[in-house]
Amino acid sequence: MNCCGRKRKSRNINADYCNIAFKPAGIRRKLLETVIIYEDEMESIKLADYESMYHQDCANKMNISRSTFSRLIESARKKIADALLNQKAISVESRIEG
């Protein structure tokens, strides 16, 4: 029996977001807490907020369910808000499967 739930469905991500990072000006990065945003969360932000697509269309484009897309976008927005409000760095990373 799989202790970690269902296997993660492959997600279509149309850009390479790795090695992207943001930080508040004037503070050394090593002194900052870092918020990790995953590539699929970044893609959800791009599609929904930057390209102004409907959530169902975003989900279809990413090859995931509408409810999964909603969880991704909610998580991404919360992490970005946390970083902006609490002066944290943001780092975009890939989810490593295995």
Mind listing the pLDDT tens digit of every residue in the chain (98 residues)?
445 555 555 665 666 666 778 899 999 988 999 999 999 999 999 999 999 999 999 999 999 999 999 999 999 999 999 999 999 999 998 886 54
Helix-then-strand count for the chain, H and E = 3, 3
CA-to-CA distance for 57 and 47, rounded, in angstroms? 9
Q: What is the pTM of this model?
A: 0.79
The angle, 0 to 180 degrees and rounded to 10, between the axes of the packed helices 55-62 and 66-85 is 100
Output the pLDDT for position 22: 87
Tell me how far the alpha carbon of residue 21 is from its chain's centroid: 12
